[in-house]
Chain A
């Protein structure tokens, strides 16, 4: 499934402006512990978190994530958006909780079983 299809299905708000929304998502990961994400999430995955600071953009770019969803209505730092745009990494926000977002992604078939 493409990033753009998920945005439409989950009615996410896009906060970045330079990114590839046609990228295929290979799986998903949900965590707020950054080292855990570094160790477990794989390139092409979509990451659900409640962290909004710019280190999430650094991590997303380093491991080559397809997108990040910042859940729970967390405010995103301006710097996070700048860094994500530099790396053409899409970031979306939603008022849904991490649990809800993850459940919806799973229901859409993003299950990590490849």
Chain B
């Protein structure tokens, strides 16, 4: 099964919709609750990153009986220093975003922690693609 969701740029009113619909699909398919929870966390972080930093993007969920792969793709500014971006606490989010409690510099580390396999492909001025793999075990 494949689900594709558009993430609107800077639209905090619709934030979390993509993650919620992917979570619901996994629940309907009977994926174990702790896996659903981890997918939901990773997808939400990816969704918020695309929304805040990249003017939106596309989230794709590929779901099989024993595996979920989440891809978050955007055409944003890219990440110049991935190592720095992966450090907890590092963020380039603007102040109004931080005032809402986002931009704490935990998004990418959270995505890495909650997934079984995490990869990031990014090119400055072209965009970023994040892939998270979750085994249904």
Q: Which residues of A contact B (CB under 8 A)?
A: 32-36, 38-39, 43, 49, 51, 53-55, 58-59, 61-64, 79
Contact = CB atoms under 8 A, between A and B. Distances in A.
A58 B48 CA distance: 12
B44 A62 contact: yes
Contacts of B45: 35, 38
Contacts of B16: 55, 58-59, 62
Contacts of B110: 35, 38-39
Nearest to B41: A38
Contacts of A49: 101
A63 B40 contact: yes
A31 B24 CA distance: 26
Interface of A is mostly: helix
B20 A62 contact: yes
A32 to B, nearest CB: 5
Interface of B: 12-13, 15-16, 19-20, 23, 33, 37, 40-41, 44-45, 100-102, 104-107, 110, 113-114
B44 A64 contact: no
B41 A32 contact: no
A63 B37 contact: yes
B106 A33 contact: yes
Contact of B106 (A32, A35, A51, A79): A35
Given A39-B113, A43-B37, A58 B20 contact: yes
A106 B37 CA distance: 25
A42 to B, nearest CB: 8
27 contacts: A32-B101, A33-B101, A33-B104, A33-B106, A34-B101, A34-B102, A34-B104, A35-B45, A35-B104, A35-B105, A38-B41, A38-B45, A38-B110, A39-B106, A39-B113, A39-B114, A43-B33, A49-B101, A51-B100, A55-B15, A55-B16, A55-B102, A58-B19, A62-B23, A62-B40, A62-B41, A63-B37
